[in-house]
Structure formats: structure tokens, C-alpha cells
Amino acid sequence: MQDITELDLYFLDWNAPGFAANPWPEFEKARERHPWLARTDQGYAVFDLRAIRELMVRDDSLRPSFDGIVDIMECRGSPWGRFAEEQMIALPDREHRFLRDTFARKFTPRYANQLRPIMRETMERLLADWAPREKIDFEEFASYYPIAVTAQMVGAPLSVIPGLRKSMETMGLAFSMDKTRVPDLDAAFEHLDAFAHDLLAKRRAEPREGADADLLDMLIEAGAQGNVSDRQLADLIIFLFVAGYDTSKNVLTYMMHLMIENPSIYERCAKDLEYCRRVVEETLRVFNPSSAFRATTSDIEYRDVRIPAGTMLFFNLNVAGHDASLFADPDRFDPDRPIVAENRHVAFGMGKHMCLGQYIARAQLQEGIHLVAQHMRAPHADGEPGWRPFPGVWGIKGLPIEFTPA
């Protein structure tokens, strides 16, 4: 048994130029040194799928270390710093369980399917505006989709979308560990906070009842029954928007990036919604915008390694699906690849912090690529994509494409 500090681990310099555009070779170098661990300047990276699956469920020995991120960013007590430390996923175990149990029953597969008509209407409306242009930045186009869907879920007017989008673009860079972004993060959070409180106040003044009630009414009712404060409700609304935005926008953008390289798969997406389910799951295997970070609350022993309490671990969910020991030809995009339960992707996390909105995200992506493929035919690249920082909310920043409108 060796202490993690004694291991000769590869150093992942994820701030190095070019790392975000192609991180996989660096992780392969790390794997040559150690099968599941690498060193970073803020802690240790866990990149092996089996290790992630087996370690992330140790909830008694791990906690989301948002306070550690706040300390790295030197913003304790700032508006964004407070939110980072007090959002639902960051709360102590008892408070987290209370809030999650209060709201979890709303985020079911059935509810996600009930939202599909809203998703289709939203995407059809966006396509009516964007598809005739023939040349677009697909990442910008994709960014409006999750915001518009979430806005309709809580009855917010579509006029708020441009302002929300700007703030959420900033919030998406929160965990890039760049201290210079804190003033912008504070301003973005305060804009979202004012929006959430205004939304709550207006709905309480004019509640919707019966068949007209929406997610916001359900959240307010559940909050009242559970004695949830306005501060907590507003934070939850902000979290819903930000989390849904990052996942759906970045995954849909990367999916188009993959479709350009796989035109036959793209054509099939236009015809077969059920096939789109497999395309989404395979995309989540090869790409995920998130790394989950956890601090150990007690010593952990795993595969002959001792990890002391207080260690920062970055679970690289975003690269775990490229393990050649688990997947044949792992870099090949193949929606018909057999899905084996123990090798299933971990895009939505593991353990008690598994993403509440995963069913909504899946439905949104399935409906999205199905309709996009029908209206934007034969897409091809019209320039080089940019990349967001790793290990924050990683993904493509700017995907210029050209296509034939249908």
C-alpha cells in the first residue's frame, strides 16, 4: 500500500496551450505511468472509468469541494463565492439530502417525456430562424435551445433569454480556476439572482393552478411543504438554468462536430428518433463537458493506494470513455456499440450527487439532434473550432458550419 503522495504520477498541465483542444493523448501518457491516477497543480486526476465508478459512490468519504474551489479563486464571501458554497450540491449531507429529497420526485423520466412537446416547439422555432442562414456558428445556435426550454419550464418570458445567456456563458467558466474572472462571475450571478427572485415574486402573486401549473409552481409548493427559504429556492432556479445550459449546449455542439465526420449517422438521425437515443449515449461516452471534484473527508484505500483525508480529487468524467481496456477501438464513434452495464458512461455523475436533470438533458438532446438533422442537411466545417478551458465546463467554443437548408 502506497500513499498517493509517494506515487510517481504523470503531471497533467491542463492549462498548457492546446490541452483543451486535444486532451486525450495527455491522459494516455498519464495511463502509461499509472492506470488510474495523475497529478495536477490543484490535486489529483482520476481518469479511469472503473476507478471513477467505484470511488465516486463512496459518499461517506467524499464531499464536493466547492469551498476549496472558492479558496483557489480567492473569492470567499463574494456573490458568486457564496452561491458556489451554498448551492444544493455543495451543502452538508443533511441539508443536501433534505433539498434533494424535496425536489427529486419532480425530475422523473415521465416528467422529461412530458416536456418533449416544449422541446420540439422550441427547436422548431430556433430552426425557422437559423436554418435559412446556411452558414452559422452552431455553438451559438445551440446555446439558445436549453435556455428557452428551461425558461418555458418555469414560465419565464422568452425576452429574458439574451441576458440569461450572457450571464450563463460567464458562469460556465467558473471552474476554470482563473481568479481574474471573479468580478465577471459576481456580476453574472447577481443578474441571475435578480431574475430568480423576480420570477418567484411574480409567481407567488399570480400562481398557476391545476393543469396550468408548471415546474415553478411545483418547486414553490414543494419548498413551502419542506420549509425551504427563498434564498434556497432562488439558488435552485439558478442551478437549474446553469447546469442545464452547460450540458445540453456543449454536448449538442460536440454532437454536431461528430456528425460532420459521420454523415451517414447524421442522415439516420433525421429519420429515426429512437436511433438518436443511441447517438446521444455514444456521444456522452466519448465527450462530456464536466469534471467532478471531490475532497476526501477520511482516508480512502483503493487498489493499493492510500488517499489521505483532505485530498482534492478531480474525477475526469469527460475522458473516461476512451479506455482501450474497456472499449474496442474507443476513439471510434459508434452508436451501435453494445452498451455493457459496468462500462456505461458516467456523464451524469455517480452516488448521491448524480444529476437530477439527467432525464431532461437526454430528452432535450435526442429531440434536438433529430430536428437539426432534418433541417440542416450535409453540414461541413466552415472554419476551425475553438475550445473552452479544461477542466472547467469544457467543450467547443465556436463551431462554424455550412449546410443546405431543408
Could you tell me the CATH number of the domain that includes residue 232? 1.10.630.10
H-only helix segments in 226-295: 230-261, 263-271, 273-286
User: Mean pLDDT lowest for which of 10-24, 38-52, 198-212, 223-237?
Assistant: 223-237
Residue-level pLDDT at 94: 67
What is the distance between the alpha carbons of residues 324 and 34, in angstroms, rounded to a whole number?
15
- Three-state secondary-structure class, residue 342: helix
What is the distance between the alpha carbons of residues 133 and 363, in angstroms, rounded to a whole number?
26
Q: Which three cell numbers stand for residue 344?
A: 456505461
Q: pLDDT averaged over the chain?
A: 92
Confidence check: pLDDT of 100 > 80: no
Q: Give domain status of residue 317, yes or no.
A: yes
Quick one: average pLDDT of 6-10?
A: 98
| Phi, psi (deg, nearest 5) at residue 376 | -120, 95
Q: Give domain status of residue 89, yes or no.
A: yes
Residue-level pLDDT at 308: 98
Between residues 121 and 357, which one has the greater pLDDT? 121
| Total number of domains constituting the chain | 1
Angle between helices 93-104 and 230-261 (to 10 degrees): 70
Q: Give domain status of residue 299, yes or no.
A: yes
Query: What pLDDT band is residue 267 in, cutting at 50, 70 and 90?
Result: very high
Left, alpha or beta for 359 (phi > 0: left; psi -120 to 50: alpha)?
alpha
pLDDT tens-digit profile of 83-97?
A: 988 877 766 666 677
Give 335's contacts (C-beta < 8 A, 6+ positions apart): 265, 275, 278, 279, 281, 282
Q: Give domain status of residue 398, yes or no.
A: no
Q: Give domain status of residue 405, yes or no.
A: no
pLDDT tens-digit profile of 149-197?
A: 999 999 999 999 999 999 999 988 777 778 889 999 999 999 999 999 9
Confidence check: pLDDT of 352 > 80: no
Output b/e per residue, 366-392; b: 16+ Cβ within 10 A: bbbbbbbbbbbeebeeeeebebbbbbb
Burial of 264 (0-12, 13-18, 19+ CB in 10 A): exposed
Q: Give domain status of residue 210, yes or no.
A: yes
Quick one: average pLDDT of 285-299?
A: 91
Q: Which three cell numbers stand for residue 24?
A: 486525450
pTM of the model: 0.92
Q: Give domain status of residue 397, yes or no.
A: no
Q: Give domain status of residue 125, yes or no.
A: yes
Residue-level pLDDT at 97: 73
pLDDT tens-digit profile of 56-69?
A: 999 899 988 777 77
Query: What pLDDT band is residue 223 in, cutting at 50, 70 and 90?
Result: confident
The share of the chain scoring above pLDDT 90, in percent, equals: 68
Confidence check: pLDDT of 212 > 70: yes
Under a CB-based contact definition with an 8 Å cutoff, are residues 44 and 37 in contact?
yes
Quick one: average pLDDT of 379-405?
A: 94
Give the residue numbers spanning the domain of 141.
2-386
